[in-house]
């Protein structure tokens, strides 16, 4: 199985890199796991609506270029479906049972995801209505992917 997170921008914080690296190492016994970074589009602090749409479109094109046709795509979006860890694990189990061996998660840039990326997504996933830094979301998502595998393996990790 392949599990991939596509993110906009670079990760600078050492403590987040260390946490992600730890979960990535743990995930290696369950799947081929990778994080793919695409460049964020440089933009002024104050943007018009048209400029915001243009930035999202450019970042969206970069994201879509990293998604293969057969990948099942989860877009992280505030309006997405909220799942418990157990429901998330069950979703993983169901997808792999029905032949989806490549799961891809997309975390957009600071302005969010383009309509084209949301359209390409097979599902939209929300971690609640909190606004979280994109860099921190990488760590949270990586841990939840690991937790899903542990739940499905019947491990006490989840307790």
Residue 89: Cβ within 10 Å count: 21
- Domains of the chain, with CATH numbers? 2-158 (3.40.1280.10)
pLDDT at 12: 92
Structural contact between residues 54 and 46, judged by C-beta atoms closer than 8 angstroms? no
Structure tokens at 68: 């293969």
3-state secondary structure of 132: coil
Which segments are annotated as binding site for S-adenosyl-L-methionine?
76, 108
> Percentage of residues in the chain with pLDDT exceeding 90?
86
pLDDT at 134: 86
Q: Rounded to whole angstroms, what are the CA distances from 64 to 58, 60, 71?
A: 10, 6, 11
The 8-class DSSP code of residue 158 comes to G
Structural contact between residues 113 and 58, judged by C-beta atoms closer than 8 angstroms? no
HSE-up (13 A, CA, CB side) for residue 56:
18
pLDDT of 159 over the 80 cut: no
**24-80, pLDDT tens digit by residue?**
999 999 999 999 999 999 888 888 999 999 999 999 999 999 999 999 999 999 899
> Residue 121 burial by CB count (10 A; 0-12/13-18/19+): exposed, middle or buried?
buried
**Residues 67, 73, 74, 77: is their CA dihedral positive or negative?**
positive
**126-151, pLDDT tens digit by residue?**
999 888 888 999 999 999 999 999 99
Which segments are annotated as binding site?
76, 108
Radius of gyration of the chain (CA): 16
Angle at 100 between CA 115 and CA 65, to 5 degrees: 40
């Amino acid at each position: 199985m392949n599990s991939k997170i596509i993110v906009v921008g670079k990760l600078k914080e050492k403590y987040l890199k260390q946490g992600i690296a730890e979960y990535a190492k743990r995930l290696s016994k369950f799947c081929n796991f990778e994080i793919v970074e695409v460049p964020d589009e440089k933009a002024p602090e104050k943007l018009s609506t048209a400029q915001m749409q243009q930035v999202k479109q450019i970042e969206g094109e970069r994201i879509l270029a990293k998604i293969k046709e057969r990948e099942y795509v989860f877009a992280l979006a505030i309006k997405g479906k909220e799942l418990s860890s157990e429901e998330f694990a069950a979703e993983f189990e169901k997808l792999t049972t029905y032949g989806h061996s490549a799961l891809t998660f997309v975390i957009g840039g600071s302005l969010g995801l383009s309509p084209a990326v949301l359209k390409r997504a097979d599902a939209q996933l929300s971690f609640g209505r909190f606004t979280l830094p994109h860099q921190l979301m990488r760590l949270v998502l990586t841990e939840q992917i690991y937790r899903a595998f542990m739940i499905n393996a019947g491990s006490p990790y989840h307790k």
